[in-house]
């Protein structure tokens, strides 16, 4: 469906739209109109002072009211000269090929998380963007919480003694019918788990490394439904662990607990939006992750920079590399 802005017959009606367009700096297209596009990208771009949504590409032929261009083949979107940037919101398996085409068409690229199917693909995109002077932004939405920034600042001058990442949710509730998530390159429980790891790599003052991983694969899936990971850090006598599980019904858990060597106890909960230190609430905010993502994208494009943090993705890759596999009962949606 085409919106009124595409109708050339109403010149008077166009005046405010044209004024708005000149104020917005970047004309963006979205590839893949699934859940996260509809929940976040479309409304957030719509309210952004810096971005204007001018085109969408949907295999299923979905459209967005008021957006002038809609294609089923993303290659047609990339041929539009007035698209400066694209957000690639498909599943990760196909993202490298699409992002590569976009960069080669001269577009700045925003990648949903996890950015690609493999670490090498991400490094390749980074090189191509760099060589062409384009922005590549590998987003990690959970990093864009004020409580995460606060936790990073709090830990910057401290030594971490223990960390427990407890990330357990009901896959049937959050990913109904998503077949790609169970295929190779869909990452299974690491799809939400990598959000936790993106917080961890942002807030910890030192790098951590996967020491051991136990991965539970449903007998009928290529991706795990649960994972337990032990990490090593650079400090002595540290206990650093993560548990991800997609079989949790009832209350959902997205928490990170950290104890420091100077006896402080930090709890990040609600997916990184609430920070409590020693029992005292420090920050709790309503989610504005995608608003902040598009502010950052604007800044990156304006300054000619890229933001590609491969650390969370590398940890997932390492967990797959080192992980011991256990086959568990088949999963049916």
Residues 107, 113, 168, 202: which is the catalytic one?
Answer: 113
Q: Is 189 in the site for ligand NAP (CB under 6 A)?
A: no
**Closer Cβ to ligand NAP, 36 or 128, answer by number:** 36
Q: Is 33 in the site for ligand NAP (CB under 6 A)?
A: yes
Q: In angstroms, what is the minimal distance from the CB of 265 to ligand NAP?
A: 29
Q: In angstroms, what is the minimal distance from the CB of 316 to ligand NAP?
A: 12
Q: How far apart are CA 138 and CA 41, in angstroms?
A: 15
Q: In angstroms, what is the minimal distance from the CB of 324 to ligand NAP?
A: 25
Question: Applying CB under 6 A, which part among 56-64, 244-252, 255-263, 266-274 lies near ligand NAP?
Answer: 56-64
**Closer Cβ to ligand NAP, 83 or 277, answer by number:** 83
> Smallest Cα–Cα separation from 221: which of 110, 127, 326, 108?
326
> Smallest Cα–Cα separation from 51: which of 308, 290, 292, 295?
295
Question: Looking only at residues 196 through 215 of this chain, which bind ligand NAP when binding is defined by CB under 6 A?
Answer: none
Among 92, 233, 312, 323, binds ligand NAP (CB under 6 A): 92
Question: Applying CB under 6 A, which part among 27-35, 63-71, 124-132, 292-300 lies near ligand NAP?
Answer: 27-35
Q: Is 60 in the site for ligand NAP (CB under 6 A)?
A: yes
Among 2, 62, 105, 283, binds ligand NAP (CB under 6 A): 62
Residue 59 pairs with which residues in a beta bridge?
Answer: none
Among 69, 107, 113, 292, binds ligand NAP (CB under 6 A): 113
Q: Is 71 in the site for ligand NAP (CB under 6 A)?
A: no
Q: Does 236 participate in catalysis according to the annotation?
A: no
Residue 96 near residue 125, CB atoms below 8 Å: yes
Which residues are annotated as catalytic? 113
**Footprint of ligand NAP (CB under 6 A):** 32-37, 58-60, 62, 89-92, 94, 112-113, 141, 178, 180, 191
């Amino acid at each position: 469906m085409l919106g009124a802005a595409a109708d050339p017959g109403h010149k008077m009606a166009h005046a405010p739209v044209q004024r708005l367009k000149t104020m917005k700096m970047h004309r963006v297209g979205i590839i893949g109109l699934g859940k996260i596009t509809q929940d976040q990208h479309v409304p957030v771009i719509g309210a952004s002072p810096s971005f204007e949504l001018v085109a969408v590409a949907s295999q299923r032929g979905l459209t967005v009211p008021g957006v002038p261009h809609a294609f089923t083949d993303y290659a047609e979107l990339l041929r539009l000269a007035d698209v400066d940037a694209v957000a690639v919101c498909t599943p990760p398996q196909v993202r490298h090929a699409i992002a590569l085409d976009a960069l080669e068409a001269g577009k700045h690229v925003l990648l949903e998380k996890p950015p690609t199917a493999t670490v090498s693909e991400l490094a390749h995109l980074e090189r191509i963007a760099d060589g062409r002077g384009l922005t590549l932004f590998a987003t990690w939405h959970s990093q864009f919480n004020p409580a995460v920034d606060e936790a990073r600042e709090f830990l910057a001058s401290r030594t971490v003694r223990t960390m427990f990442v407890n990330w357990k949710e009901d896959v049937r509730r959050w990913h109904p019918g998503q077949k790609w998530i169970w295929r190779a390159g869909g990452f299974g429980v690491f799809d939400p788990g990598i959000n936790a790891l993106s917080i961890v790599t942002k807030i910890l003052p030192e790098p951590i490394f996967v020491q051991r991983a136990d991965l539970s694969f449903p007998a009928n899936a290529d991706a795990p439904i649960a994972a337990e990971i032990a990490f090593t850090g650079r400090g002595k006598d540290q206990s650093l662990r993560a548990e991800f599980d997609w079989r949790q019904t009832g209350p959902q858990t997205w928490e990170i607990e950290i104890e420091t060597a100077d006896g402080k106890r930090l709890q990040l909960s609600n997916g990184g939006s609430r920070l409590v230190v020693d029992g005292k609430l420090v920050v709790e905010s309503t989610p504005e992750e995608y608003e902040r993502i598009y502010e950052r994208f604007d800044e990156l494009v304006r300054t000619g920079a890229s933001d590609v943090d491969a650390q969370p993705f590398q940890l997932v890759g390492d967990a797959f590399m080192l992980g011991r596999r256990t086959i568990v009962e088949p999963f049916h949606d």
